Amino acid sequence: MMQRSRIIPAIFQWLRSTELFSRPSRQIRGRWALFEFYVEPGEVLIHRDEKQLRDEKLFWEIEIAAGGSFRQRTNIPGGFLPAVTACQWRCSKNFLLLSDPGNPENKREYQFAIDRGILKLLKKRVSGKIEVFAFFRPMEGSKALF
């Protein structure tokens, strides 16, 4: 009984001191490439899958760095923060918050999930329509994206 009482606090101490692998804010960091998305600009839901993106030569690459830096490179109109290639990010529960440091009014909030190594980002309008629902895979290699 005495040894058990020493082990349990040691486990809790280890859990508090370790960057847990399963924390979403830890998993989201890295470089990601779009492979599928949905948008609803009007009354019609538009879907582009991996083959269509490749055929149309469309891409969207993002980098979410540990220091709060977010960068994007895309040729798809709109993007996360239109006309902004770099901004700041932070997580709050299952929300990714992006803000342009040069323009505090220019910020966006996305719901996110990571499932089986796939990053899913969702932004809806107040009306409930999908602004963007995007699926990203981790990018290969460790070279800087930009």
Longest dimension (CA), the chain: 67
Q: What is the mean pLDDT of residues 16-37?
A: 67
pLDDT in tens, 43-98: 888 899 999 999 999 999 999 998 889 998 999 876 666 667 788 898 888 899 88
- Backbone φ and ψ for 7, nearest 5 degrees, come out as -75, -45
3-state secondary structure the chain: CHHHHHHHHHHHHHHHHCCCCCCHHHHCCEEEEEEEEEECCCCCCEEECHHHHHHCCCCEEEEECCCCEEEEEECCCCCCCCCCCEEEEEEECCEEEEEECCEEEEEEEEEEEEECCEEEEEEECCCCCEEEEEEEEECCCCCCCC
Q: What is the pLDDT of residue 80?
A: 66
Could you state, in order of their start, the residue ranges of all structural domains in the chain?
A: 20-138
Domain 20-138: which topology? Lipocalin (2.40.128)
